[in-house]
Amino acid sequence: MLASLVAGASLIAAVPPVAAATTVTDLGTLPGGRTSLAQGINASGQVTGWSDTSTGPLHAVVWTPTGTGSFAITDLGTLPGDTASFGQAINASGQVVGSSETGDGPTHAVVWTRSGAGSFGATNLGALPGGTSSAAATAINPAGDVAGWSMTPDGKTHPVVWTPTG
């Protein structure tokens, strides 16, 4: 049996890596921004993540392919009263999930839904009842079900799912 394992291991080691042909595209930042990060991509090539703004705070963004090999960036903004936001995942419908926060207060789980040409509306998904009101969304499926986390009253993080009701 040892000889079989050694022979199998040498076969695996002998297989050369396959290099995929790729093109690297700089998605850019919001106007005046210096840094950005991509977090999620859907089958249409839309990408979500965050970028700093010309005034400093980070904002969730969506980069949309323009068909010319470049991408247009859209600032998703924050929830009212918050100063920073982060896009984590995007589904086939272009809904983005992530978080919005003030920096010194609770983190809010958010879903951004396209509300018109080039604009998105933000919805606070809420947190566990009786919890600390801190929560964040990390994934979304084609049906709009959202996965993430929420804090319990004793400060522990628990996984949660938000399901659309209508």
Provide the domain count of the chain. 1
Domain housing 32: 26-162
- Within a domain: residue 83? yes
- Within a domain: residue 7? no
What pLDDT does 13 receive? 55
- Within a domain: residue 10? no
Q: Which amino acid is at 42?
A: N
What is the spatial distance between Cα 90 and Cα 147, in angstroms, rounded to a whole number?
A: 12
pLDDT digits (tens, 9 = 90+) for 62-110: 999 998 889 999 999 999 999 999 999 999 999 999 999 987 888 999 9
What pLDDT does 1 receive? 47
- Within a domain: residue 127? yes
- Within a domain: residue 18? no
- Within a domain: residue 96? yes
DSSP string of 57-122, one letter each residue: -EEEEEEEE-SSS-EEEEEEE-STT--EEEEEEE-TT--EEEEEE-SSS-EEEEEEEEEETTEEEE
pLDDT string in tens for the chain (166-residue length): 444 444 444 445 566 666 678 889 999 999 999 999 999 999 999 999 999 999 989 999 999 999 888 999 999 999 999 999 999 999 999 999 999 998 788 899 999 998 877 789 999 999 998 877 899 999 999 999 999 999 998 889 999 999 998 7
- Within a domain: residue 17? no
- Within a domain: residue 9? no
